[in-house]
Structure 1
């Protein structure tokens, strides 16, 4: 099992959270109700996986580590695209961020790019719990092993901005993530998020 940042994990309700401050009551209750976590962008320490717990409130986020044995189910964001679960979800929870996924899928597949929903949308699709609201933006992860041409990035931004909801795209390179919007501006250096922290780089695809 290869675990990557943004992947969604269903875990045992008895999972021990380690390498973290005291666990708040809301996090304990959240895991009892919806035992799903998101893989954080952080180093794997002593074989343990860095995870984040979501609460009902936007400011309720908690980071910890878990043992791989605690994982019952592993769902990468791009798997959610293959399953197209949002088509059913739109009937149950007709929020703009979910309704926009068909169009986003059409746009990104036209560039032959692997992608998946992140944030509250990805969490709802994986966990089947209602986390998307009327005010939710649409967070998207696009995977790009090879250099993405600037003109293609600009064209993608133009098409995505025509949608009726704000779409924030993180471009995942082999070395970390960058903002598609920032990359399209063609200004260097650019901020790249890595497992060792954020850093300014000249080329996101080259090791500095």
Structure 2
């Protein structure tokens, strides 16, 4: 038996440029799957639910941006739990002690001008879809071929993939290139660097890191790669240079460590 989609379903598919099923939105949404990680892109079902980290109301430019492109980037900061009135210092709801408190994700809203950004908190229950950096490299075919050819950071993604594949690391683009691949918004420019996150849950040798850094440095575009461990991230170039101490970026702030996989050191 052939099932013919209804007119409502067909209209919904045509209106949604982001293919794939959306996650369930509502009070129980936080129960399905993991919480987003740093550099993930979030499609907000209700952008007005964001709360500026510094308090107050959302700026006008933020509302204008989210009205057209309701995408935000997960920042490197601790998640919070509580009600909207408690943010940025949330506590459990006192009116209903048995109610599950909302999980708030630290996010970044990028503005139309260079360097314009807003640090905010997004309720996990209002997130419709999550895109990880590892999912973005294969979306280059969705962009206009002429645009890809005109942006070196986009055109060189296949070459970067081959170099990283030699080291058997999961990876993905972040920054302006990752945002454009995930959302389709043309934010990358001809001089944009290619920022990468390399998943390294287990230690890699300094020799392998140095070989990869040298290979990436030969590309005709600036490449900024970071090694993401279970505790935070460290720059590939810094780790490959073999300094005595490294700066590990963690959700609680930068930390001076000797080994990013077994951090033992003070916070800066």
TM-score by length of 2: 0.74
* Corresponding residue number in structure 2 for 1:188: 244
Q: Secondary structure at the match of 1:48?
A: strand
Does the Cα contact within 8 Å between 2:47 and 2:66 map onto a contact in 1? no
* Contact persistence 1:78–1:116 (CA under 8 A): yes
Native 8 Å contact 2:233 2:248 kept in 1: yes
Query: CA shift at 1:14, angstroms?
Result: 4.2
CA RMSD across the alignment: 1.3
> 1:89 aligns to what?
143
Distance 2:234 2:262 in 1: 13
Q: Which residue of 1 aligns with 2:206?
A: 150
Q: What is the match of residue 193 of structure 2?
A: 137
- Out of 45, 50, 66, the residue aligned to residue 12 of structure 1 is 45
For the residues of structure 1 that align with 2:263 and 2:109, how far apart are their CA atoms? 31
| Matched-pair contact (CA < 8 Å) for 2:42–2:73 | yes
- The runs of 5 or more residues in structure 1 that have no matched partner are none
The secondary structure found in structure 2 opposite 1:15 is helix
Q: TM-score if structure 1 supplies the norm length? A: 0.95
Higher relative contact order (CA 8 A, sep 6+): 1
CA distance in 1 between counterparts of 2:119 and 2:131 reads: 19
Deviations 1:56-93 (A, max 9, x none): 22211111001111101100101123xx1113425052
Q: Which protein is bigger by CA-based radius of gyration? A: 2
User: 1:170-197: CA deviations, max 9, x gaps?
Assistant: 1101110000000001112100100000
Please name the residue that 2:80 is paired with.
45
Secondary structure, in 3 states, of the residue corresponding to 1:65? strand
Instruction: Kindly tell me the number of residue pairs found equivalent between the two proteins.
Output: 206
Name the counterpart of 1:113. 169
